[in-house]
Amino acid sequence: MGRQDGPGFPKVTAGPLQAPLPGVRSGQEALGRLVESHQALGWVMVTPALALLAVFLAYPFALGVWLSFTDSRIASPGRFVGLENFRYLAGDGVFRLTVLNTLLYAGVAVVLKFVLGFALALLVNREFRGKRFVRAAMLLPWIVPTSLSALVFYWIYDSQFSVLTWVLRAAGLVDRPINYLGDPNLARAALIAANVWRGVPFFAIGLLAGLQTVPRELYEAAAMDGAGPWSRFRWITWPLIMPVAVVVTVFSTIMTVGDFQLIWIVTKGGPANATHLFGTLAYQRAVQGGFLGEGAAVAVFVLPVLVACVAVAYRTLRRED
């Protein structure tokens, strides 16, 4: 039975629907247009990320550039001195040595990481038993925190308790302890070896990803035409993975030039400033020495290197397109 109006049931009548207020209506329409506009919605989505980049990257970078043109010190705002800091550094022997150290460190380390990483990528790209385990294990040097691996290398290169020296003495190759971090050339080589150990997995994984995109049909067709392994690599593998190789190399170069933790923990720029990079020298001058302007000027010298890396990568990728 349906409900009926009666003495006990008051009659209910529906009134006309009320239209939204003008302000509410305009807000709803604006929100609707915003959601429907892909460009506006994109800006809304990217604004938080841009704000973070502006606060944590753009502002420190701009502040560092400004400090490089001042004689600021700790607890002293300083004054504008133009290019005075850069002129001083141009005549500073320690800074010139730092430039050479950075070029040597980055150049040798990146080349070795590329060669070893590429060889490792070609190896794990093949089918063999335990391939998944090898792929997982080769990531360990990369995922271990830099500070932890630096402490391990500091122990490996210790002048008295070096495990490397112990192995060499057990093999009969040396008869006395080696002071790896006390000799400038040995210290440079030791740091390059440590950086290569950490960076090879980055190249291996990046280049392996590029190798996975090469169609197998191209290799099969080339083999049917009589192409050997070197010809297949030269005309198929390398041209197709060139963009990936360029990007990986550029990123590795930027990270190697800006290396700080490994150098500072193992040698602190010694012996006799022989292993300073831009980052460690800037830290020593600005934070430990208190000369903020001079330290900022040292750090700003990294900018041309980064711009050159990006320009080379951009021109290479454009040419490949």
Q: How far is CA 43 from CA 34, 58, 244, in A?
A: 10, 19, 29
CATH 1.10.3720.10 fits 94-320, yes or no: yes
Residue whose pair of structure tokens reads 């006799």 in the numeric block: 272
Mark 134-154 as b/e (b = at least 16 C-beta within 10 Å).
Answer: ebeebeebbeeeeeebbeebb
- Indicate the pTM of the whole model: 0.81
Q: How far apart are CA 154 and CA 160, in angstroms?
A: 11
pLDDT at 1: 46
Question: DSSP letter string over 6-75?
Answer: BTTB----PPPPPPPPHHHHHHHHHHHHHHH-HHHHHHHHHHHHHHHHIIIIIHHHHHHHHHHTB--BTT
CA angle 279, 282, 286 (to 5 degrees): 145
Q: Which residues contact 127 (CB under 8 A, 6 or more apart)?
A: none
pLDDT at 32: 66
Q: How far is CA 165 from CA 105, 141, 158, 297, in A?
A: 23, 22, 9, 40
Residue whose pair of structure tokens reads 């430990």 in the numeric block: 288
Q: Domain segments of the chain: what residues?
A: 94-320
Residue 261 region, left (φ>0) first, then alpha (ψ -120 to 50), else beta?
A: alpha
The DSSP output letter for 80 is: B
pLDDT at 174: 84
Cis before 271? omega within 30 = yes
Question: DSSP letter string over 131-198?
Answer: HHHHHHHTTHHHHS-HHHHHHHHHHHT-TTT-HHHHHHHHTTS-SS---TTTSHHHHHHHHHHHHHHH
Residue ranges, the chain, pLDDT below 50:
1-2, 17, 21
- pLDDT digit string, tens, across residues 206-240: 999 999 888 888 888 888 888 888 888 888 888 88
